[in-house]
Amino acid sequence: MIPRKFGARVARVEDERLVSGAGAYLDDLGADALTLAVVRSPHAHAKILDIDVTGALEVDGLIAIYTYEDLDGPMADPLPLLIPHPALSHGRTQYVLAKDEVNYAGEAVAMVVAVDRYAAEDIVERIVVDYEPLPVVVGIQNARAATHLVHEDVPGNVAANVVQQVGDAEAAIAAAPHVLELDLSIERSAAMPLEGRGVLARWDPDFGRLRIWSSTQSSTGVRAAVAAKLGLDLSDVTVTTPDVGGGFGVKIMHPWPEEILVSWAARRLQRPVKFTEDRREHFVSSAHERGQLQHVRVGFDDEGRLLGLSVRFWHDHGAYTPYGLIVPIITSTQLLGPYKPDAYRVEFDSLYTNTVVVTPYRGAGRPQAAFAMERTMDAIAQKLGIDRTEVRSRNFITPDDMPYDHQLTFQDGRPLIYDSGDFPQSLATLKALVGWDNFTAYRDAARAAGRRVGIGLACYVEGTGIGPYEGGTVEIETSGRIKVSTGLTSQGQGHRTVFAQIVADELGVSMDDIDVVTGDTDRSPFAVGTFASRAAVVSGSAIALAARKARAKVLKLAAEALEADPADLEITDGVVRVTGAPGAEISLGTLAVLSNPLRYAFDEQSKLATQFTVGDSSQPPVPHGEQPGIEGNDYYSPMQATFANGMHAAIVETDPVTAEITVLRYCVVHDCGNIINPIIVEGQIHGGVAQGIGGALYERMAYDEDGQLQNASFMDFLMPYVTELPDRIEIDHLETPSPLNPLGIKGAGEAGVIPGSAAIASAIEDAEGFPVRAMPISPSELFHLRLRHRRT
């Protein structure tokens, strides 16, 4: 009997290959390919008057230079807008090469194809673009003032204004015994995967087919966009995802100009072409996120119960809206977290600025949501002199309220209904883990010794596992090995391990006999992609269903071969056995051979290898309605999101003199339903917490007033190293299974990052005794806050 793998602490099967340098990332491929490099605008806003390539034509190694003028048909249209929203009155997307105008510094203006990167970069430098600079809009206040416009036909720089409400929040606030107002801000940051974007394309002129390798989170997304732009059938484009060194949202579904340009150039030049982004390009031409100003008004009673909550926020969307309104919509719908105010109103403006586009980055709008809600809960506690955990518990949605319908529309257009969760239990677990009730004594003792320490907490809820669908295929090879395919891609989440765990249990085979392939459009032509913490729920469920189909076929074939009742069969270690009949057994590999009339087998009698079996001449070689081979294929399409949730507590120390902020402890209680692999979930949380702490204390995109990013390198953009993190991130799991999917899972991939800024602001506030309303907060900002609050 093989022990169950679901829920076991199984080591990641992908790691040995990756840590021993055997991984194959995009830039490891295509040594024979030409290099594509991009001429990028140095201006944040300008008209393009002329592009002079004369000086570049003499450089050795030049193959081709293209500008917008060389594009026609769909290539000359703007990129698609991925998720249109009815309120997006002024959506804009960029061209693959700028048409007449650039709207951020870094936008692609021309492309160069050369024999290698050295030549390509020399050529880029020799292309002279004549720009007429236009006034630049940087920052939310500037965009709101609308003294200048990013797109001249978008009044007020407002891409969209959205209002959502449940009940009459204004009336509730007007009638409430207590009212508070908070102004909050959270700066722009970015995903910063270790590997930047990259794409390689080969055109096969004999078959009219295009083969693409992309460092993407959605191989089918790339295929769809390239096929549409190049006028090809989907089935004539293959996208394979090699090892991907992180994505964190920046490589989601929306096609990047370079993915289209590389493919177009490969076909036009009939030669393989590759683009590999460098770090500076990643800063100035990939995507950023966060970036919001928020104004909260809340009315509450003497007990701290929320009567009315009204939130107005302004979202910096950058120069274009490739994903529609997805990020601010997530903020607006998930802001309520685990609480149930009597009435809620939210209104936001999505604003254009002359900066890099803003698209989802791990957490996608939820860190901003948690910041608004959790700062508000702390402010209420402060005002009423009630413990911060107590105010929260008085407002929790309880397990008896589940499923809880917020009467709002979620980001996927479906109702926002929490399916399960036990917030009171989560809070009790967190308090015990961090020692909440003993902290006052610790803080007082620290104060007496001249140290400032503080404790903070923040809660969140995260809709995960959204549709539309994913598929899974489980195939038994004649070798007896199992091939599992799913179309979504992997960027480090350990999918090969967890999907193998699921199949090992369903089929009764060893994980060592399972190979998992992700993100290959030839194997899995119908797929969506890895984002929104959806792989475990959606692909995991599809794979489980597919494995059950494969199992059913195995049992049917084995019952025939062993002349047994399927109910008497069990599968262990890749062998089907008749219970209670020793020796009556057949391996999965043999069944796979028997199930296909076109098979390569060794005939013991004739001592010959045979390749085709005639079988019983009275029957068709493959019975009608049956498929040869043993393959289970299924799709899973969730009706609605499943809601993971969690609560984080941080203990910080702030230096009384230098204002340096140190995170001493960080505790997480997390509920992602049934856990497939605790090691992987904990790893996901560790990475997320590091990003959350980065967003709270270090990371910001420092644009100057001309729209130039001043810190576009790892010398200047601060990311936390392990030295900035506490020694240990302490985690307790709570598993309230989701009733919505076959495995009872909820997503886990973004959880770690969401409440980071809110929890750390709460702890700094506790240490310092004054409100912290803007993140990230640096030592110098804390120092100035102290001055302002006369607490030096």
Residues that bind ligand MCN (CB under 6 A): 193, 246-249, 362, 464, 491-495, 498, 530-536, 672-677, 680-681, 684, 687, 745-750
Q: Tell me the one-letter amino acid at 583.
A: G
CB 536 within 8 A of CB 676: yes
Nearest distance from residue 289's CB to ligand MCN, in Å?
10
Nearest distance from residue 491's CB to ligand MCN, in Å?
4
Map residue 373 onto helix, strand or coil: helix
> Alpha-carbon distance 535 to 565, whole Å?
36
Nearest distance from residue 749's CB to ligand MCN, in Å?
2
Nearer to ligand MCN, 136 or 745 (CB): 745
Map residue 190 onto helix, strand or coil: coil
Contacts of 512 (CB under 8 A, 6+ apart): none
Nearest distance from residue 779's CB to ligand MCN, in Å?
29
Nearer to ligand MCN, 478 or 741 (CB): 741
Nearer to ligand MCN, 253 or 298 (CB): 253
CB contact burial 234-267 (16+ within 10 A = b; e otherwise): eeebbbbbbbbbbbbbbbbbbbbbbbbbbbbbbb
Nearer to ligand MCN, 40 or 746 (CB): 746
CB 379 within 8 A of CB 294: no
Nearer to ligand MCN, 273 or 466 (CB): 466
Q: Quick one: which of 555, 547, 570 has its CA closest to 501?
A: 547
State the first-to-last Cα distance of the chain, in angstroms, to the nearest integer: 66
Nearest distance from residue 676's CB to ligand MCN, in Å?
3
> Alpha-carbon distance 133 to 149, whole Å?
13
Nearest distance from residue 58's CB to ligand MCN, in Å?
42
592, two tokens = 């796979």
Nearest distance from residue 184's CB to ligand MCN, in Å?
23
Alpha carbon distances (Å) from 36 to 73, 124, 203, 390, 645: 21, 10, 15, 58, 43
Q: Tell me the one-letter amino acid at 383.
A: K
Nearer to ligand MCN, 528 or 758 (CB): 528
> Alpha-carbon distance 649 to 282, whole Å?
33
Nearest distance from residue 671's CB to ligand MCN, in Å?
9
Angle value at C-alpha 670, between 667 and 676, nearest 5 degrees: 125
Nearest distance from residue 256's CB to ligand MCN, in Å?
16
CB 503 within 8 A of CB 514: yes
> Alpha-carbon distance 545 to 210, whole Å?
32
CB 260 within 8 A of CB 291: no
Nearer to ligand MCN, 342 or 750 (CB): 750
Nearest distance from residue 130's CB to ligand MCN, in Å?
40
Nearer to ligand MCN, 8 or 718 (CB): 8
Nearer to ligand MCN, 497 or 762 (CB): 497
Alpha helices in 435-539 (DSSP H): 439-448, 495-507
Burial class from Cβ neighbours inside 10 Å (0-12, 13-18, 19+) for residue 606 reads exposed
Which residue's structure tokens are 């019983």?
A: 616
Nearer to ligand MCN, 251 or 315 (CB): 251
Nearer to ligand MCN, 96 or 253 (CB): 253
Contacts of 648 (CB under 8 A, 6+ apart): 430, 457, 458, 666, 667, 668, 669, 689, 692, 755, 756, 759
Nearest distance from residue 359's CB to ligand MCN, in Å?
11
Nearest distance from residue 29's CB to ligand MCN, in Å?
19
Q: Quick one: which of 742, 712, 732 has its CA closest to 288?
A: 712
Nearer to ligand MCN, 321 or 541 (CB): 541
Nearer to ligand MCN, 670 or 700 (CB): 670
Tell how far CA 353 is from the center of its chain. Answer: 24
Nearest distance from residue 643's CB to ligand MCN, in Å?
12
Nearer to ligand MCN, 430 or 675 (CB): 675
Nearest distance from residue 465's CB to ligand MCN, in Å?
7
Q: Quick one: which of 723, 747, 718, 730 has its CA closest to 689?
A: 730
Nearer to ligand MCN, 258 or 682 (CB): 682
> Alpha-carbon distance 297 to 510, whole Å?
57
CB contact burial 404-440 (16+ within 10 A = b; e otherwise): bebebebbbeeebbbbbbbbeebbbbbbebbebeebe
CB 214 within 8 A of CB 333: no
368, two tokens = 């901003």
Nearest distance from residue 286's CB to ligand MCN, in Å?
13
Residue 571 burial (CB count, 10 A): 20
Nearer to ligand MCN, 193 or 756 (CB): 193
Nearest distance from residue 408's CB to ligand MCN, in Å?
21
